[in-house]
Chain A
Amino acid sequence: MAGGGANDYAAINARVRVKYSTLLSTQDYAALSEAADFNSLIVILKHTPYGPYLEKVKDKDLTPRRVIFEIKRRLADAYQSIILTAPQNARPLMTELYRFFEVDNLKAILRGIILGATWDRIRYVFFPFGSLTVLPAQAMVEASNIGAAVEMLRGTPYYETLSQAMRRYNAEQSLFPLEVALDLAYWRRLWEQIALLQGEDRTQAVKIIGALVDMNNLMWAIRYKVYHQLSEEELINYTLPFGYRVRDEDIRSIAAGVDIAQVVERIYPKLPDVEEILRDPRKGLPELETLLQRRLAQQCNNAFVGNPFLIGIPLAFLILCQLEIQDLTVLIEAKSTNVPSEAFRPYLLVGTSAGI
Chain B
Amino acid sequence: MFHPEPMIEVEMIVPEKDILAVTRVISGQGVFQLTDDSQLNSGKESKNAEAWQEKAAGFAGLERRIQTMLQTLGAGEGQPPSGEPETMVDLDQMRQEVEKYEPDVRKASDQIGGDNKRIEQMEAVQRQLEPIAGIDVDVSGLRRAHYTYMVLGSMPAANIQRLETSLSRVPHIFLPLRQDKQTAVVWLAGSESNADILERAMRSAYINPLALPEGYNGTPTEIIQNLQANIEAARADIATQRQALASLRGALEQPLQALLWQVRTSRLLVDAIVHSGKLRYTYIVVGWIPVARFERFKQRVKQVSKETLVESFPVDRNRPAEDVPVSLHHARLLGPFQSLVTTFGRPRYNEVDPTWVMAIMFPLLYGAMFGDAGQGLVMVLGGWLLTSRKVKALRGLAGLGGLVIACGTSATIFGLLYGSFFGFETVIPALWMRPIDNIMTILIISIVAGVVLLSLGFLIGLYNAFVARDWARFFFDHNGLVGMVLYYSLLGLAAGLLLGSKMPVPSIVFTIGAIISALIVAFSEVFIRLMEGERPLIEESLSTYPIQIFFELFETVIGFLSNTLSYIRVGAFAVAHAGLSLAFFNLASLAGPAGSVGYWIVLVIGNIFIVGFEGFIVAIQTMRLSYYEFFTKFFTGGGKTYEPLTLNPSKQES
Contacts and interface: CB of A to CB of B under 8 A. Distances in A.
A10 B183 CA distance: 42
B614 interface: no
B551 A308 contact: yes
A231 interface: yes
Interface string A3-22: 00011001101100100010
B206 A177 contact: yes
A61 B165 CA distance: 52
Contacts of B64: 139
Interface stretch (A101-109, A161-169, A287-295, A339-347): A161-169
A185 B156 CA distance: 10
A7 B562 contact: yes
A238 interface: yes
A34 interface: no
B621 to A, nearest CB: 13
B201 A233 contact: yes
A64 interface: no
Interface stretch (B291-299, B383-391, B552-560, B598-606): B552-560
A215 B35 CA distance: 44
Contacts of B392: none
A25 interface: yes
Given A11-B632, A161-B156, A236 B206 contact: no
A238 B165 CA distance: 12
Contact of B525 (A21, A84, A160): A21
Contact of A233 (B159, B197, B547): B197
Interface string A219-238: 00000000000111110111
Nearest to A180: B204
Given A177-B206, A232-B166, A237-B204, A164 B156 contact: yes
Interface in B25-59: 39
B540 interface: yes
Interface residues of B, number: 42
A82 to B, nearest CB: 14
B163 interface: yes
A181 B551 CA distance: 43
A246 to B, nearest CB: 15
Interface in A187-231: 188, 230-231
A11 B630 CA distance: 12
Contacts of A188: 158
A355 interface: no
A241 interface: yes
Nearest to A52: B322
A309 to B, nearest CB: 8
B182 interface: yes
Contacts of A11: 559, 628, 632
Interface majority SS (helix, strand, loop, mixed), chain B:
helix
Nearest to B41: A58
Contacts of B548: 17
Contacts of A308: 551, 555
A230 B204 CA distance: 10
Contacts of B539: 21, 25
A237 B208 contact: no
Contacts of B39: 58, 60-61
B170 A233 contact: yes
A305 interface: yes
A204 B374 CA distance: 49
B588 interface: no
B155 interface: yes
A14 B478 contact: yes
Contacts of B206: 164-165, 168, 177, 181
B200 interface: yes
Interface in A1-58: 6-7, 10-11, 13-14, 17, 21, 25, 58
Contacts of B632: 11
A205 to B, nearest CB: 20
Contacts of B205: 237
A188 B163 CA distance: 15
Given A13-B555, A241-B161, A164 B208 contact: yes
B154, B208, B547 pick with most chain A CB within 10 angstroms: B208
A13 B554 CA distance: 12
Interface in B538-587: 539-540, 544, 547-548, 551-552, 555, 558-559, 562, 566
B208 A167 contact: yes
A264 B559 CA distance: 44
A236 B540 CA distance: 44
A237 B544 CA distance: 44
A238 B161 CA distance: 12
A231 B197 contact: yes
A356 B201 CA distance: 43
A252 interface: yes
A236 B166 contact: yes
A60 B578 CA distance: 68
B167 interface: yes
Nearest to A10: B559
Nearest to B558: A6
Nearest to A165: B206
A21 B540 contact: yes
Interface in A238-293: 238-239, 241, 248, 252
B534 to A, nearest CB: 11
Interface in A130-189: 139, 160-161, 164-165, 167-168, 177, 181, 184-185, 188
A233 B167 contact: yes
A253 B428 CA distance: 78
Given A10-B559, A17-B552, A308-B551, A248 B165 contact: yes
Contact of B182 (A14, A160, A252): A160
Contacts of B558: 6, 10
Contact of B204 (A6, A167, A234, A252): A234
Nearest to B61: A142
Interface string B62-89: 0010000000000000000000000000
A333 B381 CA distance: 64
A232 B163 CA distance: 11
Contacts of A10: 555, 558-559, 562
B539, B547, B555 pick with most chain A CB within 10 angstroms: B555
Interface in A47-81: 58, 60-61
Given A7-B562, A233-B170, A241 B162 contact: yes
B169, B204, B540, B544 pick with most chain A CB within 10 angstroms: B204
Contacts of A177: 206
Contact of B200 (A61, A231, A239): A231
B203 interface: yes
Interface in B192-226: 197, 200-201, 203-206, 208
Contacts of A84: 345
B163 A237 contact: yes
Contacts of A17: 548, 552
Given A10-B559, A21-B525, A241 B165 contact: yes
Contacts of B544: 305
Given A188-B158, A236-B166, A6 B562 contact: yes
Interface of A: 6-7, 10-11, 13-14, 17, 21, 25, 58, 60-61, 84, 139, 160-161, 164-165, 167-168, 177, 181, 184-185, 188, 230-234, 236-239, 241, 248, 252, 305, 308
Given A160-B183, A164-B154, A234-B204, 12 more contacts: A6-B555, A7-B562, A10-B562, A13-B555, A17-B552, A21-B539, A84-B345, A184-B158, A230-B200, A234-B166, A237-B162, A252-B165
10 contacts: A10-B562, A58-B39, A164-B156, A181-B206, A231-B197, A232-B166, A236-B166, A237-B205, A239-B162, A252-B165
Interface of B: 39, 64, 154-156, 158-159, 161-163, 165-167, 169-170, 182-183, 197, 200-201, 203-206, 208, 345, 478, 525, 539-540, 544, 547-548, 551-552, 555, 558-559, 562, 566, 628, 632
Closest 9 pairs (CB-CB, A-B): A58-B39, A233-B201, A236-B166, A237-B204, A233-B166, A234-B204, A6-B558, A10-B559, A167-B208
